[in-house]
Amino acid sequence: MAKKAAVNKSQAIRDALAKNPDKSPSDIADMLKADGISITAQYVSTIKSNAKIKTRRKVVARRGRPRGTTSGGMGTMDAALALIKAAGSLQQAKNVLSTIEQISQVVR
């Protein structure tokens, strides 16, 4: 006796939602039941909400700052203090910054 090919129910739901984004979960479940796939409206709703969560996670990840960068605050202060310590004094750090500014104006 031949076995039936396994149906990926989640993928069937995602495909049906892509084709019919305006349909409710119960409508999608009824459509898939007509195709011979036994699914509840609650399962369709779960798959639909999980897809939204994954989409939101991707958007938030893209908006975030790259790791290791600072947006001011103590990270910038720590870097400034490290520059002063490396230069030896505040005046020498100012001289280094002045030199960097002059170089950047020449490079432009």
> pTM higher than 0.75, yes or no?
no
Task: Locate 83 and state its tokens.
Answer: 């520059």
39 lies in some domain: yes
Over the stretch 42-79, which tens digit does the pLDDT of each residue have? 999 999 988 887 766 666 666 655 555 555 567 888 88
- Separation of alpha carbons 96 and 75, rounded Å: 20
Containing structural domain, residue 15: 9-63
CB 7 within 8 A of CB 37: yes
pLDDT band at 108 (very low <50, low <70, confident <90, very high): confident
Residues 45 and 13 in one domain: yes
CB atoms near residue 105 (< 10 Å): 8
pLDDT band at 14 (very low <50, low <70, confident <90, very high): very high
3 lies in some domain: no
pLDDT band at 28 (very low <50, low <70, confident <90, very high): very high
Residues 94 and 55 in one domain: no
CB 40 within 8 A of CB 26: no
How many domains are contained in the chain?
2
